Structure 1
Amino acid sequence: MTTLTGLAAKYRQREELPLRTRLLFAFGAVAALHLAAVALLFAGTPESGTPESGTAGAGQSVALGLVLTAYLAGVKHSYDWDHIAAIDNSTRRFVAQRKDPVSVGFAFSLGHSSVVILAGVLVVGGAAIVGQFMEDGTTGNLVLGLIGSGVSGLFLLVMGLFNGSAFLQAAQAYRNVQGGGEVRDGDLEAKGFLARLLTRPLSRVKRPRNIYVIGFLFGLSFDTATTIGLLVMTAAASLAGVSPLALLALPLSFTAAMTLFDTTNGVAMMRMYRSALHNPQRKLGFNALITGISALSALFVSAITLGGFFHTAFGLEDPLTTWLGGVDLGEAGLLLVAVLLAVWGVAALRGRSKSSSQAA
C-alpha cells in the first residue's frame, strides 16, 4: 500500500514539474526511440569482414532503404487530417482546463504506432495469422477497420461538439468585448448544455497520457500497420540476409518519426491556445477563430470517418456514404496545420504592432 501511495505521489509530482522539464522528458523519449531504431538496425547487420557479411551485404543496403522508407511513411502519416484534428482538439480542451499538455501528440502517436510495433513483432516472430488481418477484404481486417474508424469517428465527433460549444462561448464573449464589455473568467471555456452533456464521455480523458488509448484504437484500422507490415513481410520473405533485429527497426523507425512530428504538432498547438488564454482581451477573437476552425475540422473528419464506417458496416450504396468512404484524409492535414499557424502568426503580428503603437 505504501508503495502504491509513493508511486501515485511521484506521478503527481511529475505532472507538477516545470514546463521546460516536461518538454525535455517528452522529446527525450522521442530521441530514445530514434536511438533504439538505429541500434536495432546496426545490431541486425553484420560488420564488414565477418564470414556472414558477404551473403548479407545486399540485405544490409535493402534493410537501410526500408528503414528510411518506414521513417518517411511515419512523417507522412503524422500529418493525416485525423491525426491533426485529434491532437489539436484534445490540446484545446486541456489548455482550456488550465493545463500544459506537452505530451498529447506523443501519447496519441505512441498509442497509434503501438499497433504497428505489435504487428511487426508478430510478423517477424512468424505469426502468420497477422497477415490475415493485414489483407484487404478479409474478415479480420474488416472487423479491426470498423473498430478503428468507429472509435476515431465518435471521438472526433465528441471533441468537435465540445470545442464547438467553446467556440460559441468565445464568439459571444468577443461580441460582448466589442460592445464595451469586459472579459470574464471562464469566457474561453466550453459551457452550456452541450458542454455538460459531453463532459461524461470525456471524463476518462483527464490527462494527456489518456490519449494513448485513443491513439491505439485509432490504429486498429490498420491503415498504418498495413504499410509497415507489408514492408516487414516483404523483407522477411525475400531477403535472407536481413536479420530479425534489422526488420524490427522498420516499425520502430516509423514510430520514431511519427512521435517526433506529432509531439511537435501538439506542443505548437499548446502554445497557440495558451497565448489566447494569457491575454484574452487582445486575443479573444483569435481564440474564437482557431477554436472554430478546430471544431469544424474535427466534425468534418468525423463525418467522413463515420460515413465510411456506415458504408462498410451496413453495405450502404447511397452516393453520400460512398463518397465519404472514398475520401483520403492523408492529403489535407498539412493544409489544416498551415491554416492554424497562419492565423496564429497574423494574430501575433497584430498584437506586436498594437503594443508598439501604444508604446509610442
Structure 2
Amino acid sequence: MESLPLDSPSLVALVFLLGLKHGFDADHLATIDGLTRFNARSRPRLARLCGTLFSLGHGAVVLAVAVGASLLSRGWQAPEWLELSGAGISILFLLGLGVLNLGAVLAAPRDAVVRPLGLKGRWLGRLAEVSHPAGVALVGALFALSFDTLSQAALFAVAGGSGAGGGALRAAGLAGCFVLGMLVADGANGFWIARLIARADGVARIASRVMALAVAGMSLLVAAYGLARLLSPRIEAWGEGKELLLGAVVVTVMAASFVVGLRLARIQGAPAAARG
C-alpha cells in the first residue's frame, strides 16, 4: 500500500493519480481489450463503452469497501505486515505482467496486432465474454476482489479517519477521487481499442506494439523501484513525499504512449498510402 499525504489538496491529487495509474494496469488493459473485441462486431456502441462500464463496476466495489471499512474500523491502523505483503504482491504481479507483455511483443508476427496480456483475466475465463452492459460492469466488480484493490480501499478508510473531517464521508470522497481517475483511464482505453479494432490496419499494428511496450516497460520499472524501496532504506527515504511526482510520471508515460503509438503509425502509414 502507498502512504498518503495528510493535507487535503495533495491527498486528493495523489488519490486521483492513483486511480489513473490503476486504470492503466496491464490487467485492466487486457480485460478491457478482450471485452471490447468480443463486442466489436455485434455491438459496436457497447464496445466503445466497455472500459467505462468495467471501471464503474470496479469502482462501486472500491467505494463500498472504503465506506464499510471506515464505519467498522474507527481508530484502526493498518498493521505493518499488511503494508509489506501488499507491496510484495504488487511487485510480483508487476514483474509477471511486464514479462508477459514484453514476450507478447517479441513473439507477435509483424503483421499482427499485439494484444495486452493480464493475469487476473485468465481467472475469469468465459465470464469475460459478455455482451450486456451489466455483465461488463460485473466483470469490473469481480476484478476489484483482489488483495491490491481491497488494500487500497482500506487505505482510503484509514486516511478518511485521519483528518478533521474524518469518517465515512471523507473515505467515500477519497474513494470517489480514485474511481474518477480510474474511469478516465479505463474509458479512454476502451474507446481507443474500439477505434483500433475498427481500423485493423498498419496503424493498429504499430500503435498496439507501442502500447504493449509501454505497459511492459512501465510494469518492470515500477516493480524494480518498489523492490528497491523494500531493500534499501536510502531509496525508501528518498521516495518519501515524492508519491505525487512518481504517480504523475507513470500516468504521463502511459498516456503519451497512446499518442506516440498513433503518431508513429500515421507516419509509417503515409508512405504506404502514397505507394498504393
- TM-score scaled by length of structure 1: 0.51
How far 1:257 moved relative to its partner? Answer: 1.6
1:210 to 128, 136, 139: 139
| Runs of 5+ unmatched residues, structure 2 | 1-6, 41-46, 129-135
Deviation at 1:261, TM superposition (A): 1.0
User: For residues 44-97 of structure 1, what are the alpha-carbon distances to aligned partners after superposition, in whole Å with 9 as ceiling and x for unaligned?
Assistant: xxxxxxxxxxxxxxxxxxxxx95x8766444322332x6325244444455555
Task: Confirm or deny: 8 A CA contact 1:124 1:232 kept in the other structure.
Answer: no
| Residue identity in the other structure for 2:93 | V
Q: CA 1:338–1:272 in 2, change beyond 3 Å: closer, same or farther?
A: farther
Matched-pair identity in %:
7
Shift of 1:233: 1.4
Aligned to 2:23: 83
TM-score (norm 2): 0.63
Deviations 1:171-200 (A, max 9, x none): 2x2xxxxxxxxxxxxx4477xxxx9xx999
Query: 2:161 aligns to what SS in structure 1?
Result: helix
Deviation at 1:118, TM superposition (A): 1.8
Which one-letter code corresponds to 1:307 in the other structure? Answer: A
Query: Structure 1: any 5+ residue segments left out of the alignment?
Result: 1-64, 174-186
| Match of residue 54 from structure 2 | 107
CA contact (8 A) 1:144 1:221 kept: yes
What's the CA shift for 1:139?
Answer: 1.4
8 Å CA contact retained: 2:204, 2:265: no
Tell me how far apart the structure 2 counterparts of residues 158 and 356 of structure 1 sit (CA, whole Å): 36
Aligned equivalent of 2:88, options 142, 146, 150:
146
CA distance in 2, matches of 1:101, 1:164: 28
Q: Which residue of 1 aligns with 2:259?
A: 341
Q: Give matches, 1:159-238, under 5 Å.
A: 159-162=101-104, 164-165=106-107, 168-169=108-109, 171=110, 173=111, 187-188=112-113, 202=122, 204-206=124-126, 207=128, 209-217=138-146, 218-220=148-150, 222=152, 226=155, 228-235=156-163, 238=164
Counterpart of 2:192 in structure 1 is: 269
Relative to structure 1, the CA distance from residue 146 to residue 200 in structure 2 (aligned partners, 3 Å threshold; closer, same or farther) is closer
Q: How many residues align?
A: 248
CA contact (8 A) 1:109 1:262 kept: no
Greater C-alpha Rg: 1
Cα distance, 1:164–1:294 mapped onto 2, change above 3 Å: farther
CA deviation map 1:103-145 (0-9, x unaligned): 335535753674465244322444444x224xxxx11221233
Letter in 2 for 1:83: G
